[in-house]
């Protein structure tokens, strides 16, 4: 039997501008670097930074302190409009050529 890999459908995509709506980084705005569909999480550029201490492998090498962006659950972010300066949910609409496109629910602004 083959194992079925569970992937969650997430409302945001890589490159979207989002605002964090809960947690320590509440109210911060950033762009999405990566979407993790298996865990339904996203990584936002320069937000939710964590520190990792690593030990040197050899005697000549010294230890390092590494800063990295930790994942945030996708339910804790909302699409943000830079022009209107507000956050909103998404709608799926059709443009003039009858192609599906994503738009903001509050303003109707089309997202790339």
Across the chain, what does the average pLDDT equal? Answer: 93
Q: What is the reported pLDDT for 4?
A: 62
* Closest listed residue to residue 32, CA positions, set 10, 5, 6, 65: 10
> DSSP labels for the chain?
-PPPPP----S--TT-EEEE-SSTTTT-EEEEEEEETTTTEEEETT-SEEEEEE--SSSSPPPEEEEEEPPEEGGGEEEEETTTTEEE-EEEEE-TTS-EEEEETTT-PEE-
Q: Class of 17-86 per CATH?
A: mainly beta
Tens of pLDDT along 36-86?
999 999 999 999 999 999 998 888 889 999 999 999 999 999 999 999 999
Q: What is the reported pLDDT for 2?
A: 65
Q: What is the reported pLDDT for 32?
A: 98
Cα 11 to Cα 2: distance, rounded to the nearest angstrom: 28
Top pLDDT among 30 and 60 is at 30
Q: What is the reported pLDDT for 1?
A: 64
State percent of the chain over pLDDT 70: 96
Threshold 0.85, pTM exceeds = no
Q: Where are the domains of the chain?
A: 17-86
Residues 6+ apart with CB under 8 A from 75: 40
């Amino acid at each position: 039997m083959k194992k079925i890999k569970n992937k969650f459908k997430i409302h945001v995509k890589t490159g979207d501008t989002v605002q964090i709506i809960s947690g320590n980084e509440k109210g911060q705005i950033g762009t999405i670097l990566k979407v993790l569909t298996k865990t339904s999480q996203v990584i936002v550029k320069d937000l939710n930074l964590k520190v990792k201490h690593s030990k040197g492998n050899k005697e000549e090498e010294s230890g390092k302190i590494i800063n990295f962006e930790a994942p945030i659950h996708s339910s804790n972010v909302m699409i943000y409009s830079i022009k209107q300066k507000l956050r909103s949910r998404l709608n799926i609409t059709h443009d003039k050529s009858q192609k599906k496109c994503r738009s903001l629910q509050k303003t109707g602004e089309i997202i790339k």
